[in-house]
Structure 1
Amino acid sequence: MLKTATKAESASSTLTPKNRGNKKKIQEKPLKIRTGPQKYSVFDKSFVTETVVAKDILENYQAFFTETDEYNFNGLVLGYVTPWNNHGYDVAKIFGNKFTHISPVWLQIRRKGPKLYSLTGTHDIDKKWVITVKNAGRERKTKVLPRVIFEGWTLSDYTALFNDKNELNSLTQTLVESCKQYSFDGFTLEVWTQIAGAVKSDILVAFVKFVGDTFALEKLHFVLVIPPKRSEYELFTKDQFDQLYDHVTAFSLMTYDYSNSQIPGPNAPSSWVEDSITSISSNLTQRPKILMGLNFYGNDYTASGGGSIIFHDYIKLLKKNPEQKLKYNPEVEEHYFDYKDDKGVKHLVFYPTLYSIFKKIDLAHRLNTGISIWEIGQGLDYFYDLL
């Protein structure tokens, strides 16, 4: 657990008879807000630094390098988009060439009866946006793979699916036909984290293989969401990775939410991220299929709880004290700051910075992995200069 940093004591001065009552309030310089395309990148202006002042973030977070087609990371880059953070839709269009895959969080697969499956959440699908994103990049065409979760399932539903090949065929064909109908390039499937503890691993492995092989025959991409290492008991192991390696396009590894409101601290310490990756593969040639999870959100903790925050929450907090310097913990490679709210309650805030993201991307380079970002609507616009 990262200890809350103490607030620096403010300097005080005594008014002399000569200046008593005549002390002038120091005028704060107005912020020079920069927005939209710029002729320089965050690297050109040396913004990617361990020393971070709130004012620098406030003045520059809405700006980005005008050459949005340029990208710095050559591996797979998946960006999640959610309907509740609409800015992500714009990010996917503006910076499309920086992503190899975009995964909008729209859909659920439901079992309606014997060999009868339906895809719900389709009301959120924006066909025009899908086509725009797929054609956003010049050098590499972005693939759109909506995330699908299993929703409203009972134990008998899962039993039927895993024990009857006709049921498997019906489910996968429902997914394949939906790809054709909506011009999707495949799906990102989140099922392992939902049922891994309740289903025998060999059954779940066989299911994923079947779906992956069916998608491959249709020339569709298939990303499997997998949990990170949490303890000695792992929900996803090296053996399972090896068995599934040839049957999926990539594995989206959820290396975020290391801390929580009960144990506040960093979002994703680099040592934990590295351990989560190396524990499932020691083979550098296999690791490009592992998409290292990268959070573009943060957390605001108090002694009684707290919760996640996204960019507009974070910006509001920084505006209260634009001259403050964020603290950096080199052990976890993340920045943080603390403050007291109007009720005197102390808060501890972790939110990614250019430097902390740069360190994570550097880790991905060193470990030879890809990247998956949760999620692009929660971050700051100048983050994308790093990709």
Structure 2
Amino acid sequence: MARRRERRGEPSQDRRKDRVGPATREEKLNDSDASERKLIGIFILFFIIIPAVSVLVYVYKYGSGTKRLEPVITERGPIKTDINFQEILTNTNVAGNESQRNYDYPVLAYITPWNSKGYEMAKRFNSKFTHLSPVWYDLKSHGNSLILEGRHNADKGWISELRMRGNALILPRIVLEAFPTELLKKKKQMDKAIDLMVTECKEMEYDGIVLESWSRWAAYGVLHNPDLRNMALKFIKQLGHALHSVASTRNPKQQLQLVYVVGPPHSDALQQHDFGPADLQSLSGSVDGFSLMTYDFSGPNNPGPNAPLNWIRFTLRLLLGSTGNNAQRLAPKIFLGINFYGNDFILSED
């Protein structure tokens, strides 16, 4: 009996094994299908659903804002004709976007020592500008020679930060304070002045300079003398050609640039010392841009607006003419001055 039980038990055990075998394979197949479904689910989650949600979130958060960049300032309300100073001050610290430019034309910003926040603002809004001009240098007479003062003001670390953040050109401003008659009449002095400025650009790896001299020459009476006036124009042309003959260190395909500061005429009856349309035409081939100082229209003796719009329009029409190819060719070279300050005049009771 015991043997029979063993014999009966063996087939029974085999049958159980036979039954267990197929069940295990089915479970393995089910496990394999579950794993595949899990992998597919993970793939869909990470490569389809999450990117899709991210795009929707980005469009919702930033896409609509990008479309609104242009009208934001108009919606805030300061763009109107009957604005008061308090409304302007209220909107001074508002920036719709720190990196995106809304315009294609060049924009130059001066960084002055009397604005302590200028250096930080230049870094913050670097992408908004094409040209940055720190007010650093003066070219002065020193006995019978010339010296260029201001390198101690230059901040190479700041320049490096600017260039890491954007592509704005660095053109420090140089004020020409040397005695003009000596400078313009003597070729040796003229060549020395040009060499000093070009050499400084090379050694400090600037992209060019902004030169201010016209107002100084007018104050010295140089521009009232036709011969000296022609020499002054010749000096600017030679400086421009000298800068254009040097490639930029940062971009060898680009030459050094010259931006020239000019004051606006206050009347259509041009005076001898005024910078007029003939001067603009004469220098246009040698100068890359003209920084037009359309501000300080009023003063203590004649209080009023700092930069009235009609006067700005008049100045541009006077320099460029109202129509023609000449105006279209020269207009892109003018950096129209916009003042970010105002004057509070106290009127006497007399």
Fold shared, TM-score > 0.5 on shorter chain:
yes
Offset of residue 166 of structure 1: 2.5
Secondary structure, aligned partner of 1:63: coil
Confirm whether residue 253 of structure 1 aligns to residue 281 of structure 2: no
Q: TM-score scaled to structure 2, two decimals? A: 0.68
Secondary structure, aligned partner of 1:110: strand
Offset of residue 296 of structure 1: 0.7
What is the distance in 2 between the residues matched to 1:53 and 1:118?
A: 46
Q: Which of the numbers 94, 99, 109 marks the counterpart of 2:139?
A: 109
Higher fraction of helix: 2
What does residue 213 of structure 1 align with?
Answer: 241
Offset of residue 104 of structure 1: 1.0
Q: Which of the numbers 68, 92, 97 marks the counterpart of 2:98?
A: 68
Secondary structure, aligned partner of 1:71: coil
Offset of residue 79 of structure 1: 0.5
What is the distance in 1 between the residues matched to 2:303 and 2:71?
A: 31
- Paired letter, 1:216: H
- Paired letter, 2:258: F
Whether the 8 Å CA contact 1:135–1:142 is kept in 2: the answer is: no
Offset of residue 124 of structure 1: 1.7
What does residue 198 of structure 1 align with?
Answer: 222
What does residue 260 of structure 2 align with?
Answer: 224
What does residue 71 of structure 2 align with?
Answer: 43
Offset of residue 187 of structure 1: 0.9
What does residue 332 of structure 2 align with?
Answer: 288
What is the distance in 1 between the residues matched to 2:282 and 2:320?
A: 12
What is the distance in 2 between the residues matched to 1:80 and 1:184?
A: 15
What does residue 211 of structure 2 align with?
Answer: 189
Offset of residue 74 of structure 1: 1.1
Offset of residue 233 of structure 1: 2.9
What is the distance in 1 between the residues matched to 2:114 and 2:262?
A: 23
Offset of residue 177 of structure 1: 1.4
Secondary structure, aligned partner of 1:291: strand
Q: Which of the numbers 151, 155, 160 marks the counterpart of 1:131?
A: 160
Q: Which of the numbers 287, 297, 307 marks the counterpart of 2:341?
A: 297
Confirm whether residue 83 of structure 1 aligns to residue 110 of structure 2: no
Flag the structure with larger Rg.
2
In the TM superposition, what are the counterparts of 1:148-159 in structure 2 within 5 Å? Answer: 148-151=174-177, 153-154=178-179, 158-159=180-181
Whether the 8 Å CA contact 1:136–1:142 is kept in 2: the answer is: no
What is the distance in 2 between the residues matched to 1:42 and 1:302?
A: 37
Cα-to-partner distance string for 1:175-225 (whole Å, 9 max, x where unaligned): 111112222111111101111342432111111111111111112110110
Structure 1, unaligned runs of 5 or more = 1-38, 305-344, 346-387
Cα-to-partner distance string for 1:36-85 (whole Å, 9 max, x where unaligned): xxx775833711442658776666532322x4221112111111111121
In the TM superposition, what are the counterparts of 1:1-387 in structure 2 within 5 Å? Answer: 43-44=71-72, 46-47=75-76, 48-50=78-80, 61-65=92-96, 67-114=97-144, 116-137=145-166, 141-151=167-177, 153-154=178-179, 158-196=180-218, 197-199=221-223, 200-218=228-246, 219-231=255-267, 232-234=269-271, 235-282=274-321, 283-304=327-348
What is the distance in 2 between the residues matched to 1:258 and 1:58?
A: 21
What is the distance in 1 between the residues matched to 2:337 and 2:242?
A: 26
The 3 A distance-change label for structure 1 pair 135 and 274 is farther
What is the distance in 2 between the residues matched to 1:60 and 1:259?
A: 24
Whether the 8 Å CA contact 1:83–1:124 is kept in 2: the answer is: no
What is the distance in 2 between the residues matched to 1:84 and 1:192?
A: 22
The 3 A distance-change label for structure 1 pair 49 and 191 is closer
- Paired letter, 1:95: F
Secondary structure, aligned partner of 2:236: helix
The 3 A distance-change label for structure 1 pair 52 and 303 is closer
Higher fraction of strand: 1
CA RMSD of aligned residues (A): 2.3
- Paired letter, 2:102: N
What is the distance in 2 between the residues matched to 1:57 and 1:167?
A: 47
Q: Report 1 or 2 for greater relative contact order, CA contacts < 8 Å, sequence distance ≥ 6.
A: 1
Secondary structure, aligned partner of 1:284: helix
Whether the 8 Å CA contact 2:303–2:345 is kept in 1: the answer is: yes
What does residue 19 of structure 2 align with?
Answer: none
Whether the 8 Å CA contact 2:70–2:102 is kept in 1: the answer is: no
What is the distance in 1 between the residues matched to 2:192 and 2:159?
A: 25
- Paired letter, 1:134: R
Secondary structure, aligned partner of 1:296: coil
Structure 2, unaligned runs of 5 or more = 1-64, 247-254, 322-326
The 3 A distance-change label for structure 1 pair 142 and 59 is same
- Paired letter, 2:303: P
What is the distance in 2 between the residues matched to 1:150 and 1:264?
A: 30
The 3 A distance-change label for structure 1 pair 180 and 52 is same
